[in-house]
Amino acid sequence: MKVLNFGSLNYDYTYRVSHMVRPGETLASENLQTHCGGKGLNQSIALARAGVSVFHAGMAGEDGGRLLEVCRQERIRTDFIRNCEGKSGHAVIQVTPSGENCILLYGGANRKNSLEHIENVLRSFGEGDILLLQNEINLVDELIERAFRKKMKIVLNPSPFEEKLLDYGLERVDTFLINETEGRQMSGEKTPEKILERLRQTYPQSEIVLTLGEKGVCLGGRKETVSVPAFCVKAVDTTAAGDTFTGYYLAGVLQGRGKKESLRRACAASALAVMKKGAADSIPRTPDVDLFLDKGCGGV
Ligand code: RIB
């Protein structure tokens, strides 16, 4: 069984600010740091650091050297990353003193995947292989359709959410990893219970993992419902916490850990991620997650 993550690769420009800039306001930032990121790359790194071998596919621009270097350092397979003219994707991120962020994306190379590239990549994968997707690249609908035809298992983190995603044949998705905001947008419901109920009705073949920030996580499975509380930590930067969760949860399941243990490990990994600045840089390694869990650093 192989794992393919077809996703974005970004440079993140992270500005520390006293508050999120308001409409019409000019705000001086306190500090700028540049990191590698992108929901796709972050999730590949989280999978790799959790001990899963992953192929990353996607597009990097003329300036993409550092993005590929980071993949190689992490032992992520780069066979399916192509270079194209123009700039790589990037994100402008504001982070406040409480660790909250808001993100402005420029798609760049991430929006230049072609059908030809997708078909070439999928040729190397087949029944039972995993396809992990987010929504920062173009042709997500085509990827879902083609991977489903090949009987691959599709795992979707529909982030950032946009209305047209709902027309992408989502009943073909095996597992959704969704935060509360995305859950509200996808279901039209407001409370976690209702969101889960509505999504389970709409996608009865799928498993829904709904992350709730400080309130933990709920899984609405085909058979079971599991809830796990969050770990109580002091956040300095929440960027990539969701990506860390996705990578560690998927890794846990693929490594044969039960759903509950996988959720708990993913919560621990994302708790560690929010205690560190940056996106990819903040994703913990397996020994750190083990230590955190051994020390019982949390509310479970
Ligand atoms: O989820 C965090 C990521 O979102 C950042 O790394 C940024 O690149 C955006 O894609």
User: pLDDT, tens digit, for every residue of 150-200?
Assistant: 999 999 999 999 999 999 999 999 999 999 999 999 999 999 999 999 999
CA of 41 to the centre of ligand 1 (A): 9
Report which of 18, 101, 22, 34 is spatially closest to residue 67, judged by C-alpha positions: 34
Q: What is the pLDDT of residue 14?
A: 94
Q: How far apart are CA 72 and CA 87, in angstroms?
A: 20
Best residue among 70, 135, 243, 276 to mutate for probing ligand 1, ranked by most atoms within 8 Å of CB: 243
Residue 257 to residue 136: CA distance in whole angstroms? 29
Say if residue 106 is exposed, middle or buried (CB neighbours under 10 Å; 0-12, 13-18, 19+): middle
pLDDT at position 295: 87
Report the alpha-carbon distance of residue 167 to residue 8 in Å, rounded. Answer: 21
Q: What is the predicted pLDDT for the residue at 223? A: 82
Of residues 267, 218, 233, 230, the one with CA closest to residue 247: 267
How many angstroms is it from 224 CA to the middle of ligand 1? 31
- The beta-strand segments (E) located in the chain are 3-6, 10-16, 31-37, 55-60, 77-83, 89-95, 101-106, 130-133, 153-156, 175-179, 207-211, 217-220, 225-228
Atom of ligand 1 nearest to the CA of 41: 6
Q: How far is the CA of 196 from the centre of ligand 1 (A)?
A: 25
Cα–Cα dist 45/243, whole Å: 9
* Ligand 1-lining residues (CB < 6 angstroms): 8, 10, 12, 37-39, 42, 91, 103, 105, 136, 239-240, 242-243, 279
User: Best mutation site among 93, 104, 157 for ligand 1, i.e. most ligand atoms within 8 A of its Cβ?
Assistant: 93
Please state, in angstroms and rounded to a whole number, the distance separating the CA atoms of residues 88 and 112: 10
- CA-based nearest residue to 270, from 104, 193, 173, 157: 157
Q: Given ligand 1 and candidates 103, 104, 181, which is best to mutate, with the most ligand atoms within 8 Å of its CB?
A: 103
Q: Tell me the CA distances in angstroms from 209 to 19, 137, 247, 262, one per residue in order.
A: 31, 22, 13, 11
* Ligand 1 atom, smallest distance to 241 CA: 1
**What does each C-alpha distance from 82 to 77, 138, 203 come to in angstroms?**
12, 14, 33
Q: Is 243 a catalytic residue?
A: yes
Residue of 243, 288, 290, 294 with catalytic role:
243
Pairing of strands 225-228, 217-220: antiparallel
Atom of ligand 1 nearest to the CA of 243: 1
| Helices 180-187 & 192-202 angle (0-180, nearest 10) | 50
- This prediction has a pTM of 0.96
**Parts of the chain with a pLDDT under 70:** 297-300
- pLDDT value for 300: 38
Cβ within 8 Å of residue 202, ≥6 positions away: 187
Q: Which pairing describes strands 101-106 and 31-37: parallel, antiparallel, or unpaired?
A: unpaired
d(CA 42, ligand 1 centre) in Å: 7
| Predicted local confidence at residue 222, as pLDDT | 81
Residue whose entry in the numeric block shows the structure tokens 């690769």: 9
Residue type, 197: E
User: Which residue's CA is the closest to the ligand 1 atom numbered 5?
Assistant: 38
Atom 2 in ligand 1: which residue has the minimum CA distance? 240
Residue nearest to atom 8 of ligand 1 (CA): 38
